[in-house]
Amino acid sequence: MQITIIIPAHNEATFLKKCLDSFVAQTHTPDEVIIVDDNSSDDTFAIANEYTKKFEWIKTVQRKSTDEHIPGKKVVDTFNFGLTYASSFDLIGKFDADIILPSNYFETVLKQFQANWKLGMCSGLLYIKKGDKRVYESIADKSHIRGPIKLYHKACFNKIGGLRPGVGWDTVDVLLAQYHDFETTTIPELHVKHLRPTGHGYSSKNFQAKGAALYKMRYGITLTKIAALKMSWQAKNPFLYFSMLVGYLKAMAASTPRFVSKEEGVFIRKLRWKGIKAKLV
């Protein structure tokens, strides 16, 4: 199986070298790594170029975009830009530049895909530094495939229509994979170091975007309230619950285009309710 990895990178000079060193140290290196320097003002491009000169399977391309931070959309647009430079692949990965992979990451994930023809998405788990230890980054269940380290089988990637450009892209892709009868799995023994923890910049605006994303995924108001309670509790800020609901209602009032069809929305709601009921038993 041919593996292509795309790494969107905006001002990642602090972390990029450690990230790429972990790619080079793999027991099974990807066939192609494409680093997309997205309008960086630091040494991201220069660092990426050093690796491109040393390793023929690493490419570096530049994308000119706005400096404005657009959660979700900016990273997906950058990934899609990199995708236009990709060669033929069987597995496609979207990885962040602030991670350190264990040396057997791709070897282990590849075996999972080879052993299961229904597997559509796979990843390890993210761990952050807390004091002098590494602990699981608990903003999602360990069964959830996180955005910074996920691999898609090409058949699954094509069936779900690629990545949605906005907040929630790394949730709706998992749901749509299941809708199309693909399996998704995480590998608990693959501990990936996340050098910049997710959520350090939680804000009311970010949570409004999350609420809007749930509208786009056709969660409905009740499931949105449950999700908002969970996320605001994880952020230890009860006021963010209301921010999330405001985002949902604003998207509804504006008739914001959805990420999924009505039929897909019915499936997503049933799947979410099934998961909630399973946790209550």
**Across 5-12, average pLDDT:** 96
- CB neighbourhood size of 281 (10 A): 4
- Give how far Cα 60 sits from Cα of 57, 92, 148, 180, 275, Å: 10, 17, 19, 33, 41
Give me the pLDDT at residue 131, please.
87
C-alpha distance from residue 257 to each of 207, 218, 251 (Å): 19, 11, 9
For residue 52, give every residue at least 6 positions away whose Cβ sits within 8 Å of its Cβ, in sequence order, or none.
Answer: 35, 58, 59, 60
Does the pLDDT at position 203 exceed 60? no
Secondary structure of residue 17 in the 3-state scheme = helix
pLDDT confidence of residue 186: 97
What residues contact residue 42 under an 8 Å CB cut-off, 6+ apart? 11, 12, 13
Please give the pLDDT value at position 163.
Answer: 96
Contact (CB, 8 A) for 87 and 56: no
Residue 74 predicted with pLDDT over 80: yes
pLDDT of 202 higher than 70: no
Examine the pLDDT at 198 and tell me if it is beyond 80.
no
Q: Span 64-81, mean pLDDT?
A: 85
Pair of tokens at residue 85? 């430079």
pLDDT tens profile 211-262? 999 999 999 999 999 999 988 887 778 888 999 999 999 999 999 999 999 9
Residue 162 gets the label, from left (phi > 0), alpha (psi -120 to 50) or beta, of left
Residues of the chain with pLDDT > 70, as a percent, come to 97
Contacts (Cβ under 8 Å, ≥6 apart) of 240: 202, 204, 207, 228, 231, 232
Q: In this structure, what token pair is assigned to residue 87?
A: 């060669």
pLDDT digits (tens, 9 = 90+) for 36-45: 999 999 999 9
Specify the DSSP class assigned to residue 257: P
pLDDT tens-digit series, residues 259-272:
999 999 999 999 99
Cα 171 versus chain centre, distance: 8
% the chain with pLDDT above 90:
82
Q: What is the pLDDT of residue 204?
A: 64
